[in-house]
Amino acid sequence: MGKTAQAIGLAWRQRSVLLGLSRQGKALRDHVRKTEVRTRDILLLLVPQDRGQDVTEWLGCLPLAERGLAVTQDSKVWLAIGVFAAAVAAASVGLVYLPIALGCVVIAYVLAKIVPLSELYSHIEWPVVVLLGSMIPLGAALQNAGGTELIAGALVGLTEGMPAWAILTVLMVVTMTLSDVLNNTATTIVAAPVGIQMAQSLNVSPDPFLMAVAIAASSAFLTPIGHKNNTLILGPGGYQFGDYWRIGLPLEIIIVAVSIPAILVFWPL
């Protein structure tokens, strides 16, 4: 203790890197390698595979409880990207349906041992599966009960007499707001029928409305619960709830400002 990672030669002696340091609940981000380590500090280390115990003993530290986290460098990363890209390309040009193409990707990943067969079951995002299974009937019920038409009618009335870009902007803002508290897939299931109903009410093509919904539903930056990636970085990054909207609000404004002109160019009303 009282020495820096650079001073003890952590990188060249143990082939390890000090990625982060937490002191009394406060994350230290600047010049971590040159920061003196004190008693009770929590260190985030990147170490060679199966060398974690040796490195912690060499440092004289105690490892925290296993968190199930791993940083890997897979030699088959380009193969994985290539197979996935080929499947998306084949589905895009109409050679095969997307669900079938993605199913073939999973089979290829198993055969190429990118995803071990023994871990295939554990890699399935069951919360997402359950969420979709719950939200699809909810979206259908909302549409059958007239809720979709009611929401669309309210938005059409709100934007009456406005230009096309303003109508799409309102739809994107509403969808973004919904996506900040719901999963993006669930948001799309609810918002897409609203966009279609708005297009039918205005007697225009639904394509720009669906594209606006797709973009907006993927732009959940204002809260740590809008997307699982937001939640994952909340603790390790030492972020607070207010940090998200301070960064996310300007980002969402930029997305709207760029997306609306692009949508109207490629999918005119």
Residue 139 near residue 189 (C-beta atoms within 8 A): yes
pTM across the whole model: 0.55
Cβ neighbourhood burial of 178 (10 Å; 0-12, 13-18, 19+): buried
> Distances from the Cα of 51 to the Cαs of 6, 47, 48, in angstroms?
19, 6, 5
Select the more confidently predicted residue: 101 or 152. Answer: 101
Domain positions in the chain are 10-59, 77-119, 131-266
Predicted confidence band of residue 89 (pLDDT cuts 50, 70, 90) = very high
| Alpha-carbon gap, residue 192 to 186, rounded angstroms | 10
| Alpha-carbon gap, residue 101 to 83, rounded angstroms | 10
pLDDT for 239-267, tens place per residue?
777 788 888 888 889 999 999 999 988 88
The per-residue pLDDT for 177 is 86
Range of lowest pLDDT (61-65, 102-106, 206-210):
61-65
> Distances from the Cα of 180 to the Cαs of 175, 222, 242, 252, in angstroms?
9, 6, 13, 11
Coil, helix or strand at residue 23: strand
Q: What is the mean pLDDT of residues 148-175?
A: 83
Range of lowest pLDDT (24-33, 54-63, 67-76, 186-195):
67-76
Residue 49 near residue 62 (C-beta atoms within 8 A): no
| Contacting residues for 26 by C-beta, under 8 A, at least 6 apart | 238
Cβ neighbourhood burial of 192 (10 Å; 0-12, 13-18, 19+): buried
The per-residue pLDDT for 232 is 65
pLDDT for 28-45, tens place per residue?
777 777 788 888 788 888
The per-residue pLDDT for 85 is 93
Predicted confidence band of residue 236 (pLDDT cuts 50, 70, 90) = low
CA gyration radius for the chain? 24
Residue carrying structure tokens 């299931």: 189
